[in-house]
Amino acid sequence: MNSIYGNIINGVEEKEGEKLEVRSPVDGSLIGYIINSSRETVERAIQASRNAFDKFYISSDIKSRQKLIEKLADIVQEKADLYSELESKNTGKTIRQSTFMDIPVAISHIRYFAETNEFQFQRKITHPEYPGTEGIIQNAPMGVVASIAPWNVPFLMAVWKIIPPVLAGNAVVIKPSHYTPLTAMELVKDIKTAGFPDGLVNLINGTGKSTGNYLIESDNIDMISFTGSTSTGSMVMQKAAKNIKKVTLELGGKSPNIVFSDADLDHAAKGIIFGIFLNSGQLCESASRLIVEESITQTFLSKIEGHLNAFKSGNPMDFDTDISAITIPEQREKIEVMIEKTVRAGGKVFYSKKMEGMPDKGIYFPPTLISGIKAGSEISDEEIFGPVLTVYPFRTEEEAISLANDTKYGLAAGIWSSDVKRAGRVASMINAGTVWINEYHLLSAAAPRGGFKKSGIGRELGLEGILEYTQTRHIFYGNNESGMSDVAYSILIKSQ
């Protein structure tokens, strides 16, 4: 019998309501069902978070919260193999990636927030206009945060969408993707086991069109944290504006990797492959544009092809499989259509990895390299979100920078060069929130992550990511020792 994955409200899993199928992209098998939450259910979850927030913020401090977060990290660590299996089964990413990257990185991020001393709730200031007075600047929590996560990296996203806001003193209602809810649900259950108050973190399942909109439109939400496509992020922002909600948006990307001729080409080739083919390119910051110095283009592409030829396709649940599945069928269809349009417009598919051994009913697309692309074409401008690398030769540093910035997105970029000064100079000219030099896709919990331009608003991770979940309060302590307030008051009030 297939499982029913319900909503978790006030620490209790509720399984009543309209049911939606959850299938594995690995082999098309039915994993179970989720509940497509109604507006009434969403509002109950929000109210549960509101009630918990009112008690939690008053009764806790950052140290007590960090103790709970540390306990959660220990619990998740003990269950790491289970999390890895659920993540790969639900998303189609290779079990090797889940076991050695996604789950360990997420656990390390939980531990970072349990241990960081960067975040201080308040600081003292003096008022230069009023000698003898001082003030306190406080970072107060927003209240109840609606966290809406995407389908591509569900466990890491659940960690990012829950732990920083809770550390800052907030309550959270999280809505995982209706395609990939399994590890987020497991995390919320473990949050209860770790001793967090019931209702502080509630989880509601359902589609974005129904449940997600109910959450965004609610008057009882104080802030929305959304990760997803740029088009959906724009709609979230419009809806949030109706009742002046704070939003953070981590959206699409069209990230470039710039390779100069003086780079360590063997290392760079591995980095370019990792940058685009990890998770079959289904990462917001996937480096889908290779901008390579013309004099080394053929040599460098040959190195990439050599590595791709050695890729082993097969069942992602096998540890020797290198290629992840495409998580949802709609995404594979989008990739196919974009490539068909590109070829009709004159683009050349000069490499496509033959795939064998995958389960028949799974969702797969081969690693692909494309050249001959015209500026302004759809595949050059729009996010592919798949295992497709487009190639652009350049001759000068200025041309490389221009090509890199010729996009409406600005999430991430990579630069490969043995000239560290030049790499740093170019990095400072790239319109992106993260720029890796001689590396790619290496995430640090201490480093703020987010985008320029249409890649989003706000940051996740690091001190900046914690502060996003706060609002600033100034408390003025006056004593009139200097007599300045009497001077000010005399503008309106005459001496008696």
Residues with active-site annotation: 250, 284
Spatial strand order in the sheet of 470-477: 122-126, 134-141, 470-477
Nearest to 254 by CA among 432, 457, 440, 395: 432
Q: How remote is the C-alpha of 307 from its chain's centroid?
A: 28
**Rounded to the nearest 5°, which phi and psi values hold at 353?**
-70, 125
Alpha-helical (H) ranges within 131-285 are 154-167, 182-193, 213-217, 230-241, 265-277
b/e burial code for range 306-322 (CB count within 10 A of at least 16 → b) = ebbeebebbbbbeeebb
Helix orientation angle between 103-115 and 80-91, rounded to the nearest 10 degrees: 130
Burial of 108 (0-12, 13-18, 19+ CB in 10 A): middle
Residue 139 one-letter amino acid? N
Question: Are 353 and 178 within 8 A, CB to CB?
Answer: no
Q: Measuring CA to CA, how many Å separate 99 from each of 20, 68, 338?
A: 28, 24, 32
Q: Using an 8 Å Cβ cutoff, are 413 and 256 in contact?
A: yes
What's the chain's Rg over C-alpha atoms?
25
CB 162 within 8 A of CB 172: yes
Rounded Cα–Cα distance for residues 211 and 217 (Å)? 10
DSSP codes joined into one string, 346-397: T-EEEEE----S--TTS-----EEEE-PPTT-HHHHS---SSEEEEEEESSH
Q: In 10 A of CB 60, how many CB atoms? A: 18
> Across the strands, what pairs with 141?
470
From residue 234, give the alpha-carbon distance in Å to each of 247, 248, 465: 11, 11, 21
E strands along 40-150, which residues? Answer: 122-126, 134-141, 144-148
Distance (Å, whole) CA 368 – CA 280? 10
Q: Which two tokens stand for residue 281?
A: 């390119």
Alpha-carbon distances of 416 from 295, 394, 400, rounded to whole Å: 15, 14, 12
How far apart CA 458 and CA 450 sit, in angstroms, is 6
> Are the beta carbons of 298 and 342 closer than 8 angstroms?
no
Query: In the chain, what is the straight-line distance between the N-terminal and C-terminal CA atoms, in Å?
Result: 85
